[in-house]
Amino acid sequence: MGMKKIFPNMIGIALIVAFILSACNAAPTAIVPVSGQNSTASPFPLVPSATPTSTPLATDTPIPTITPTPTAFTTATPTIQAVAQLIPSVNAFCRTGPGSDYDQLTILTSGTAYNVIGRNSLNTWWLVQFDSQVNCWTGAPGANLLGPVADAPIVTVPVTYMKLSGFTGFYTCNTMENFMQVTLYWAKPDGVSGYRLSRNGVLLSKLGAGTTTFQDNAPMSVELTYELEAFDDVGSTAYASVYLPACGTP
């Protein structure tokens, strides 16, 4: 009787043990890694990353377009050259007549404007006003012509020049004041406009048409040569000279 009770109890215990062992040997549940995470399980719970929120760009306030007001342009009225002028491009001879065969009277300065008061019939030489007393001819190549040059009157120059006669000189040696007093005389030519008087190649004076005498205080110990040049309105000239020895020279 005791054995019959024990056997069923043993069977029940064996079934319980078998059930426990079966539960312990069950296969572990596989852990599937989440994409983008380490497959090793973290002991700490994962906190989802915050999704960045894009901040909208500030919209600039549009600047109004300014339409420029067109400027009215005034057309300048060109200045009319009223006076006929000649400007040499280089220093040029100015002569007593319209041609290179005429004597050189003076030199025109490059870049200086000279009034044109006449021209030859071929319009290749121009009579210009050098200063208040001297007029002369130039055919300066490359000269700049301004104003009504073509309207200047045609001037005919006589082939023969003026004749200057009677030019002579007297002197006195002033030993007290150590100078030589010279007096010059000449006859007035026809049509003369003025004179230029030089001593030893240096211009002494420009004289008017009515002048026929001149006095000069010159050095005593120097030989003197006076040159008188007469000129008219068209540039014709006449020359005369006189020689005077130094004071004390026989």
pLDDT, tens digit, 9 for 90 and up, residues 167-195: 999 999 998 889 999 999 999 988 788 99
Residue 147 belongs to some domain of the structure:
yes
Q: Among residues 122, 121, 125, 172, which one has the least CA distance to residue 145?
A: 125
Q: What is the per-residue pLDDT across 44-94, written as a single tens digit (0 to 9) for each?
A: 455 555 555 555 555 556 666 666 666 655 566 666 668 999 999 999 999
- pTM of the complete model beyond 0.85: no
Same-domain check for residues 124 and 188: no
Does residue 101 lie within any of the structural domains?
A: yes
C-alpha separations of 41 from 28, 35, 45, 47, 48 in Å: 15, 13, 10, 14, 16
Domain identity same for 238 and 173: yes
What is the per-residue DSSP string for 52-90?
PPPPPPPPPPPPPPPPPPPPPPPPPPPPP--S-EEE-SS
The size of the chain, in residues, is: 250
Q: Which residue segment(s) compose the domain that 205 sits in?
A: 168-244
Asked whether residue 188 is domain-assigned, the answer is yes
Provide mean pLDDT across the span 153-163: 74
Residue at 207 is within a domain: yes
> Is residue 156 one of the residues assigned to a domain?
no
CA distance 163 to 230: 9
CATH number at residue 143: 2.30.30.40
- Is there a single domain that holds both residue 130 and residue 193? no
The one-letter amino acid code at 196 reads: R
CA–CA separation, 182 vs 217, rounded Å?
A: 6
- The CA distances from residue 242 to 42, 142, 179, 232, in Å, are 136, 40, 19, 22
- Whether residues 144 and 118 share a domain: the answer is yes
**Last residue of one domain, picked from the residues 151, 179, 194:** 151
Report yes or no: 108 and 130 within 8 Å, Cβ to Cβ: yes
One domain for residues 144 and 174? no
- Domain of 229: which CATH number? 2.60.40.10
Q: For residue 15, what are the contacts with CB-CB under 8 A and spacing of at least 6?
A: none
Residue 140 in any domain: the answer is yes
Residue 107: predicted pLDDT: 93
Lowest pLDDT segment from 10-24, 132-146, 161-175, 200-214: 10-24
Is 99 in the same domain as 146? Answer: yes
More confident call, 139 vs 25: 139
Residues 188 and 142 grouped into a single domain: no
Q: How far apart are CA 199 and CA 230, in angstroms?
A: 15
In a domain, residue 142? The reply is yes
pLDDT tier for residue 163 given thresholds of 50, 70 and 90: confident
Q: Is 23 helix (H, G, I), strand (E, B) or coil?
A: helix
Q: With respect to residue 176, please indicate whether it lies within any of the assigned structural domains.
A: yes
Q: Considering its fold, how many domains does the chain have in total?
A: 2
Give me the torsion for CA of 10, 14, 17, 19, rounded to 10°. -130
**144 and 179: one domain?**
no
Residues 175 and 128 reside in one and the same domain: no
How many CA atoms lie less than 13 Å away from 32 in the CB half-sphere?
Answer: 2
The verdict on 117 and 176 lying in the same domain is: no
Confidence grade of residue 100 (pLDDT, cut at 50, 70, 90): confident
Beta bridge partners of 171: 182
Q: Are residues 144 and 201 in the same domain?
A: no
Residue bearing tokens 């020359």: 239
Q: Are residues 125 and 175 in the same domain?
A: no
Domain boundary among 151, 176, 202: 151
User: In terms of C-beta density within 10 A (0-12 exposed, 13-18 middle, 19 or more buried), how is residue 125 classed?
Assistant: buried
Specify the amino acid at residue 79.
T
Token pair for 113: 């404007």
Q: What is the pLDDT of residues 208-220, one digit of tens each?
A: 999 999 999 999 8
